[in-house]
């Protein structure tokens, strides 16, 4: 039996068959982003070594870096006790965040407000094009 | 306006009002577990400095360590670009995992199977009682 037969998927915003993916820098352990994967995305990630997800907004499989070039080489996949969440340990090209930061978690909460704790790496308009 | 007024919650397995919480060791950056919080859990965490969650199985607010004593002191809360996920940076007492490991992510995926990469810290039967 393959491990993907044993995963316990969840329904997120009405979309079935998802596991949560925590994306972690393989060297620093920094958490870069959080996303979702379905079985196809997990299999594509394993086969290609490049992080694939299921986009809950676009409702389709998504190769991270497809448009930005900021791909993620996945060296290891960890799975949790409940088998409903995985960690992709990655080498991140450029920044993970579509807003131009290395990590999507570039702000902390302080006194009920958000405060930036990371500097911007790139201008998202230049990478993704103006919207 | 408070930051909790701006969060974008999701519906997980039919339960509304949830954000995903990644729990990270404040010293090593190790990811210890993944859980969910609603607004009340986030506010209780901020007020008490102890990690609170919303249990999707028991459908109630949950103070981590309530039965095991393995509490989590939260030193910082980070929030992601989409405001639908947070990181609790914690000092973990004992192990985070109810199966007796420091982290819930104690296995990696290799050749379609799970392989343990962490050693057990404690016997869960002694902490939680036999089930």
Domain ranges of chain B: 3-94
* B99/A81 Cβ within 8 A: yes
Q: What is the DSSP letter of A5?
A: G
Q: What is the CA radius of gyration of chain B?
A: 15
The dotted CATH code for B3-94 is: 3.10.20.810
Q: Which A residues, 34 through 73, put their C-beta within 8 Å of a C-beta on chain B?
A: 34, 46
pLDDT of residue A128: 78
Q: Does A116 touch chain B (CB under 8 A)?
A: no
pLDDT interval class at B130 (50, 70, 90): low
Q: What is the pLDDT of residues A2-26, one digit of tens each?
A: 999 999 999 999 999 999 999 999 9
Question: Are the Cβ atoms of A29 and B28 closer than 8 angstroms?
Answer: yes
Residue numbers in A near B3 (CB within 8 A): 109, 112-114
Measured in angstroms, the CA of A66 and the nearest CA of chain B are apart by 19
Whether A21 and A88 have beta carbons less than 8 Å apart is answered as yes
Stretch (H or E) spanning A45: helix A39-48
Q: Are B32 and B24 contacting, i.e. CB atoms less than 8 angstroms apart? A: yes
Contact between B104 and A22 using a beta-carbon 8 Å cutoff: no
User: What are the tens digits of pLDDT across the range B69-116?
Assistant: 999 999 999 999 999 999 999 999 999 999 999 999 999 999 999 999
Residue A113 per-residue DSSP state: E
Which residues of chain A make contact with B97, given a CB cutoff of 8 A? 81
Q: In the structure encoding, which two tokens stand for residue A101, read together? A: 């930061």
Structure tokens belonging to residue B11: 């519906």
Is residue A71 over pLDDT 60?
Answer: yes
Q: Which residue in the block uniquely carries the two structure tokens 């959080």?
A: A34
Question: Which pTM value belongs to this model?
Answer: 0.95
- Interface ipTM: 0.95
Instruction: Provide, as residue numbers in chain A, all residues whose Cβ is less than 8 Å from the Cβ of B128.
Output: none
CB B100 within 8 A of CB B93: no
At A113, is the pLDDT very low, low, confident or very high (cuts 50, 70, 90)?
very high
Tell me, yes or no, if B82 comes closer than 8 A to chain A by beta carbon. yes
- Provide the CATH topology of domain A3-95: Ubiquitin-like (UB roll) (3.10.20)
Contacts of B28 in chain A (CB under 8 A): 29
Q: Of A85, A89, A111, A115, which to mutate for an interface test with B (greatest number of B Cβ within 10 Å)?
A: A85
Contact B104 A117 (CB under 8 A): no
* A128 within 8 A of A68, measured Cβ to Cβ: yes
Model confidence pLDDT, tens digit, residues B3-62: 999 999 999 999 999 999 999 999 999 999 999 999 999 999 999 999 999 999 999 999
């Amino acid at each position: 039996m393959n491990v993907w037969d044993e995963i316990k998927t969840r329904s997120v915003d009405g979309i079935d068959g998802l596991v949560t993916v925590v994306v972690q820098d393989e060297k620093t352990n920094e958490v870069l982003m959080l996303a979702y994967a379905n079985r196809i995305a997990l299999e594509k990630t394993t086969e290609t070594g490049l992080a694939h997800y299921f986009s809950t907004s676009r409702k389709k499989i998504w190769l991270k870096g497809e448009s930005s070039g900021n791909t993620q080489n996945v060296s290891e996949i960890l799975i949790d006790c409940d088998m409903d969440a995985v960690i992709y340990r990655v080498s991140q090209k450029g920044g993970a965040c579509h807003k131009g930061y290395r990590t999507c978690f570039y702000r902390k909460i302080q006194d009920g407000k958000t405060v930036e704790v990371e500097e911007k790496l790139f201008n998202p308009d230049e990478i993704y094009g103006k919207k």
